[in-house]
Amino acid sequence: MVNTQFIVSPSKKLQGQLRVPGDKSISHRAIMLGALAEGTTHISGFLEGEDTLATLAAFKSMCVLIEGPEQGRVTVHGVGLHGLQAPYKPLYLGNSGTSMRLLAGLMAGQKFSVEMTGDESLSRRPMRRVTEPLATMGALIYTTASGTPPLKIQGSQQLHPIHYPMPIASAQVKSCLLLAGLYAQGTTCIIEPAPTRDHTERMLRSLGYPVQQEGNRVCVTGGGHLTATDIDVPADISSAAFFMVGASIATGSDITLQHVGINPTRTGVLEILKAMGADITLHHEREVGGEPVADIQVRHAPLHGIQIPEYLVPLAIDEFPVLFIAAACAEGETVLTGAAELRVKESDRIQVMADGLQTVGIQAHPTPDGMIIRGGKIHGGQVNSHGDHRIAMAFTIASLCASEPIIIDDCANVATSFPNFVELATRAGITMTVEK
């Protein structure tokens, strides 16, 4: 495979107004639930990244008519909860753990059998966290001996409801089981140990499917139906987070990120940055299609290290690579605990980020469930992203505090979540080139 490198020169500041691509989590769910709805769903703001396009292709291969995407617009002609058809080959889901875990729940309720595969990275990711509770619902679902993909699901199983206390807070597990619950006879309830993103629940309601919620318990009853609607996908706060951190750490920066989703189950990055001293202002707060959005203005401010509250960890789980860069540029020590989940993402994000930070001159000590980072001067160096899109983008942002160029290896997967990252980063003020 060709090594795509980012070569990033020390940059001065970020300025201007940007709209980052659509929210990846919501884009996945819009395709899935639009396909299962009765009627035609019109989606705008859809993220045209490799992960979400893998979800779209999977439903096309199950005989759902989908038009687009074209400039973020997609039209999905729903087939109803029981209208999917058997694909003629395995569903290939690329790098997308969200696609595989959520589809595992949906596929468990179908009349046909299916196999789901992924790329080398996805093929190493743990799936027992979804396959084991699905098996208790009556699904026949198989992994490799180590609990990794490919997943093989045998159709025509009658699912029964479960009450499932999740051992680890995970929106993907919760969503998987709620989607399986649509096909179960009775009421399925999931109990969360900590709040996680609730896009599935919000979108189910917007498509007319009742969701019961009380405290940390969320329930669905099988046998209902979804009614098509229009879905406006907000800009992805996980993508916006790179520019939030960049503006915070670079003297003279003032940037506004437009139409960003500020779902309260996703705003941990805002809370953590504010606790570190960031200057963040929300403008034009509003609600679009059941999801709160705002324009987020970030100005440079000196950051200081903090002990990151564990209750915020699930609300910022995807943003920690770039939050580690914020910690590296902050005065004092930042301590993260309770984030063992980071070790089973697209890479072991704790170890890979620690290795990269040490390479560029920062004291970073990985722990089993987090990291201890002492802020300091970032030098140049060559770091390996290990094919992890968020790590590649995080070290791009580190250039704003660097004294020498940073070379980042293995960056092709940035296209999975942020296909125009290089263009927007350059427009905002980062000096970088791409070499293959």
Give the residue numbers marked as catalytic: 318
Cα distances (angstroms) measured from residue 317 to each of 54, 139, 266, 272, 314: 22, 29, 9, 12, 5
Number of C-beta neighbours around residue 425 at 10 A: 25
Helix (H) or strand (E) holding 16: strand 15-18
3-state secondary structure of 300: coil
Residues 6+ apart with CB under 8 A from 151: 100, 104, 115, 116, 127, 131, 141, 142, 143
Cis upstream peptide for 149 (omega within 30°): no
| Residue 190: both structure tokens together | 């999931």
User: Which DSSP string do the residues of 165-213 spell out, in sequence order?
Assistant: E-SS--HHHHHHHHHHHTTSSSEEEEE-SS----HHHHHHHHTT---EE
Please name the amino acid found at residue 46: F
Per the CB < 8 A criterion, the answer to whether 292 and 273 are in contact is no
The pair of structure tokens assigned to 286 is 């509003």
* Token code pair at residue 125: 């990711």
CA–CA separation, 240 and 250 (whole Å): 16
State the pairing for strand pair 432-435/5-8. Answer: antiparallel
DSSP tag of 342: G
The whole-angstrom separation of Cα 256 and Cα 249 is: 15
